Amino acid sequence: MWSAFSILLLIIAFLVLLSWILHWTGVSTDVKSTIETPWTDPATGLPGTIITETTNPTKIQAAGLVDILFAPMKGFQGKADVIIFILVLGAFIQLTIASKSLQGFSQGILAKLQGKEIYAIIPLMIFFSICGTAEGMAEESLGFYMICIPLMIAAGYDTFTGLMIVLVGAGVGVICSTVNPFVITIAMDGLNSGSGLSGGNGISAGDGLVWRLITWMVMTGAAIAYVMWYANKVKNNPSKSVTFSTYEGDKQFFLSENNEKIIMTGKRKTSLAIFGLTFLVMIMYLVNWDSITGTTAMADFGDKINQSFPYLTSMIPGFGQGGLDVVATIFLIAAIIMSLVLGLGEEGFLQEFMAGASDILSVCLVIATAAGVGVILQATHLQELFVSGLNSSIGGINSQVGKILVLFILFLPLSFLIPSSSGFAAAIFPLIATSVAVKDSNGVVTGFQDAAASGSVMAFSMANGILNLFTPTSGVVMGAVAISRVGYDRFLKGIWPVVLGAFIISIIMLSIGGAIGGSMA
């Protein structure tokens, strides 16, 4: 089986070839551009700028052969914050592993769950699913594989069980996003901006929330049941494991080579507390609390801290306002504190830090290469072409359920090409706003009271989330596969029942929600 790099470069090469064909045949698409015009306020005499957005037909731009290798470089540049975060995260985890606190913690859990280890899957997957549905857990989940996989192997399960706990747990949460700002907020903002509606006439995160919550519970329950069934099957018959051929090698890599009983000393307990607290702070920091509460409390609090304690920090935004670069800083601080607790000294700290960062470098390169797909799509205007085709496909459908299901089906292949949920939502929803809105007898948009509006957001969340469970264009998927040491071919063999189940449940829940109508869907 080809490596992740080869698969991604082949996808990029295919898109380059497609851009040639469409360029030679003269295909064009509407591309938005902004024009900035200098302007002076006649009342105050103060200079300003008028920004005008225009749409012009633009011919598909052909990409070149060299661009196949240049795109991953641009992808690295575009994903710099993610890559920095993952490098620091890898170093932080290496320090934690060096302390043996995780191994000792795992031994303690297994001792308490003797014979009932399988029940550890339930709270773990619920936790990841909540993170997925609330804040769109993606790259930040990569740090948890080195926790769950050793725990599952020590309990008698396999690598793939640990992989599914994290990937499927967070994945079904994202599929059934309830208040995820990277999906729900951006998509609904796109509908409002595309229709010209706002305030009470527009759509809000409360529309369809009840049905999204019900769907999340159904999907999460089904996912947990499947992972527990698989884990039990593997424990009873290891030859049924997706990763059976590498089982012994996985044990040597993820577990200590001896059966040493780890005593949880004060240093190890402190290291474990730092580890857990750091991940908790990360999750709390990445949730956009102001978006959920409809206030600016966290942004204002961050500004106040920067102004009141400038010698502590003058640049860190409030909770929910910053990105992965801030989270990387949090992990770096935690790594330094942990090294002090362990008494490693400068040389010991740097040795473990560099070892952890180097171990995860291949994951960073996979993420950069995956981002190269988006670079080609944007540079050639293929992204606008695909999005435009989607909008024209639903214009003549009158049935609410039909419109939602057609959107769901069309979102699936587009999510393969545009795996970024926020980027996809920002591009597509302003364009389909008038197609899913309620109009008066004159064709004027009056609101989003019908199921098609909130249903379209839910359909997008599900389609994009399902594809991001397995698509090689997702840096999260390829990163998880690399960390877990599972070949992509074996990964596909193991994940397809989950994907099929998620697809069927999505069709059922979208159909029922559309039939209920109103803003329930």
Structure confidence by residue, pLDDT tens digits, 135-158: 778 777 877 888 889 889 988 899
Residue 87 has pLDDT above 80, yes or no: yes
pLDDT band with cut points at 50, 70 and 90 for residue 220: very high
Whether the predicted pLDDT of 199 surpasses 60: no
Residue 443's pLDDT band (cuts 50, 70, 90): low
Name which residue leads in pLDDT, 488 or 167: 167
Question: Which one-letter amino acid corresponds to residue 299?
Answer: A
Question: What is the rounded distance in angstroms from the CA atom of residue 96 to the CA atom of residue 102?
Answer: 7
% the chain with pLDDT above 90: 23
What is the DSSP secondary structure assignment for residue 37, as one 8-state letter?
E
Q: 503: pLDDT confidence band, cut at 50, 70 and 90?
A: very high
Q: Which residue has the tokens 């902004």?
A: 34
Cα distance between residue 276 and residue 280, in whole Å: 6
pLDDT at position 257 over 60: no
**Dist. CA 141–CA 484, nearest whole Å:** 13
Most trustworthy range by pLDDT among 109-113, 118-122, 227-231, 421-425: 227-231
Q: For residue 509, what pLDDT is reported?
A: 95
Residue 384 has pLDDT above 90, yes or no: no
> Is the model more confident about 518 or about 92?
92
* Helix locations, 265-399, DSSP H: 266-286, 289-293, 297-308, 324-342, 345-359, 361-380, 382-393
- H/E element holding 54? strand 47-59
Identify the sign of the CA torsion 302, 304, 309, 314. Answer: positive
The mean pLDDT of the chain is 82
**Cα atoms found within 13 Å of the Cα of residue 301, Cβ hemisphere only:** 12
pLDDT for 463? 94
Residue 258 has pLDDT above 50, yes or no: no
Q: Between 422 and 217, whose confidence is greater?
A: 217
Residue 174: pLDDT band by 50, 70, 90 thresholds?
very high
Cβ atoms of 338 and 351 within 8 Å: the answer is no
Least confident of 18-27, 49-58, 378-387: 49-58
Handedness of CA 408, 410, 414, 416 (dihedral sign): positive
**With bands split at pLDDT 50, 70 and 90, how would you rate the model's confidence at 134?**
confident
Asked if pLDDT for residue 200 goes beyond 70, the answer is no
Read off the pLDDT of each residue in 266-291 and give the average, rounded to a whole number.
80
Q: 257 is written with which tokens? A: 């080579």
> What is the arithmetic mean of pLDDT over 330-342?
90
Percent of residues in the chain assigned helix, strand, coil, to nearest 5: 70, 5, 25
Task: Judge whether 21 and 70 are in contact, CB under 8 Å.
Answer: no
User: Residue 514: which residues within 8 A CB-CB, separation 6 or more?
Assistant: 400, 401, 404, 405, 451, 452, 455, 521
In this structure, how many other beta carbons lie within 10 angstroms of the beta carbon of residue 39? 12
Quote the Cα angle for 402-405-409, to 5°.
135
Residue 2 near residue 8 (C-beta atoms within 8 A): no
Of 42-46, 243-247, 355-359, which gets the smallest average pLDDT? 42-46
Smallest Cα–Cα separation from 373: which of 515, 260, 230, 471?
471
pLDDT at 272 over 90: no
The two three-digit tokens of residue 310, written as one number? 């400038």
Query: Between 174 and 389, where is the model more confident?
Result: 174
